[in-house]
Amino acid sequence: MTFYLLSRSLSDIRKEVENADGPVDLDHFVAQLDLSAELKVWMKKHRRVDLAGNDFIKELTADDIIDVPEFLSAYKKQNGAALHAVIPEPKYKSGDEQKNPEKYKLRREQYRQALRHYIQANLDSLQGLDAELREINPNLHWGHVQSEQQRHIGQRVLQLAQTRYLMATAVTNLSGGAAFEGLASGQYWISNLDTPALAGDLRLHWDVGIAVPPAKTARVELSDLNALENSEQNTR
């Protein structure tokens, strides 16, 4: 198999690319979603895009349910008449805002206060709320965006490793040996990049540093002992 001699470690090349590209911007991702402005504000504030699970439910407050349209709609469905819930009902209609603004404002605030008290007294009524948000939960899309970013970073790392930082290549013989010849003294790194060496169930990658002294031969043995921990490259 082919091994590559690099003037910089593969891990440092990756850091260079990640610093240049920057992480996926959560705020930008949230801004593009087809959700209410209130929900977008909540997601940015909580740094969360996954609207599911116990951790999500624990972050919700009565005010969140009342202020975010998607949460309120899901809460009403989850605790509707079919479940024999007795959540407060609004005593105003949308048209009342034009006919009698003051009365509408008063009854709307009364409803909000009643609902807030009910939720605070019945926190168990939040359980299962995430099931009603399944169709609008953007977490799967967020994961895809992050995966694409990692794929792009991986491609850029390989490109730089085989161009800017490549010093030499060598192909192993039938005994598994290979040599890089005619090198100046200095610090180098040996890697097989994205082509794993198969050893049983292991898929091994290396990013091994080696110092080459002046006018001398440096030797290194590659094994599972100095391979990247947990076959790290396979996860990127």
pLDDT (tens digit per residue) in 90-139: 776 666 666 777 877 888 888 889 889 999 998 998 999 999 999 999 99
Check residue 82 and give its pLDDT.
46
Check residue 15 and give its pLDDT.
95
Check residue 207 and give its pLDDT.
96
Rounded Cα gap, residues 202 and 112, in angstroms: 59
Check residue 97 and give its pLDDT.
63
Find tokens 């099931």 and name the residue.
131
- pLDDT lower than 50: segments of the chain: 82-84, 231-236
Measured at the CA of 135, the angle between CA 55 and CA 72, to 5 degrees, comes to 65
pLDDT (tens digit per residue) in 165-175: 999 999 999 99
C-alpha distance from residue 13 to each of 54, 191, 197 (Å)? 38, 12, 21
Whether pTM exceeds 0.85: no
